[in-house]
Amino acid sequence: MKSKSSKRALASIALSFEAFVVFFATLTAFGLKA
């Protein structure tokens, strides 16, 4: 049970990090375009 909840927390952190990276990449792309 403990490892399952920690796995879920890790997945949540990874998802947030991925979303942030995508957002940052989009922002950089727009910055380079402008």
Query: Is this structure's pTM higher than 0.85?
Result: no
- Residue 19: domain span: 1-34
Q: Is the pLDDT of residue 1 over 90?
A: no
Q: How many domains does the chain have?
A: 1
- What pLDDT sits at residue 33? 81
Question: What is the residue-wise DSSP string for 1-34?
Answer: -HHHHHHHHHHHHHHHHHHHHHHHHHHHHHHHH-
Confidence tier at 3 by pLDDT (50, 70, 90): confident
Give per-residue pLDDT as tens, 4-31: 899 999 999 999 999 999 999 999 999 9
